[in-house]
Amino acid sequence: MMIKQITNHIPKKSMLLVAGVLVLLSGLAIGAVSYIWEQSDRATEFLRAGDKEYAAGNWDEALRLYNEAALIKENSNEIRNKIKITEDKLKKGETPTAKSPKSNQTANPSSPSTATSNTPATSPLSESSQKPGGAVEIPNLVGLTKTEAEQLLLSKKIRYQFFIEPSDAEADKVFKQDKEPGKPYQQGDRITFYVSRGK
């Protein structure tokens, strides 16, 4: 009864406007939740694929996939731990061994409490990627394929993100990067590079 009295005093145009705004806000909220859900699903897909590669002994590829997941879920301790364990395997130069069904080896990296909070999703540094004093030099990525650029950055322990955009450059080639090549890389920074979708 009270609602009917209130609505009798509000013009119909105003009620329609309020209803339209509520529908719009509901749609935006649903879209935001869907986007977050989709990103979570993508991170899970990268983790599963990384676990599969890890189990197969393809630690470089596992590390790349964990890196992709880390870009989506930057604050995930689970991902950091998997990266740390995989990096340790690569640093030790371990080679995969055949796994028997009774083996105690795990199919994917476990979650020890030893991971550092800001471990970049990367592979170990090679000696050739360091300048005197231990500084890492930002490489020139322009002209490389997306995969080549990713592998190079991972080998230098450089965090990155990329965007695929229309360009006059050949498809799947890096045509631009945000950090100047040859400059020292600051630990924790992230390099952004742009990959051509083609014309």
Between 10 and 89, the higher pLDDT residue: 89
Overall average pLDDT of the 10-16 stretch: 71
Domain count, the chain: 2
Beta bridge partners of residue 192, listed in sequence order: 161
Is the pLDDT reported for residue 109 higher than 90? Answer: no
Overall average pLDDT of the 29-49 stretch: 71
Domain annotation covers residue 70? yes
Residue ending a domain, among 95, 112, 143, is 95
The crossing angle, in degrees rounded to 10, of helices 146-155 and 59-72 is 100
Domain annotation covers residue 100? no
Number of Cα atoms under 13 Å in the Cβ half of residue 78 = 11
> What is the helix (H) or strand (E) element at residue 132, kind and residue range?
none
First to last CA, the chain: 63
Is the pLDDT reported for residue 9 higher than 80? Answer: no
Task: Specify the 3-state DSSP secondary structure of 151.
Answer: helix
Domain annotation covers residue 46? yes
* Structural domain span for residue 66: 12-95
Instruction: Note the pLDDT of residue 134.
Output: 62
Quick check: 117 and 80 in contact, CB under 8 A?
yes
Which CATH number characterizes residue 156's domain? 3.30.10.20
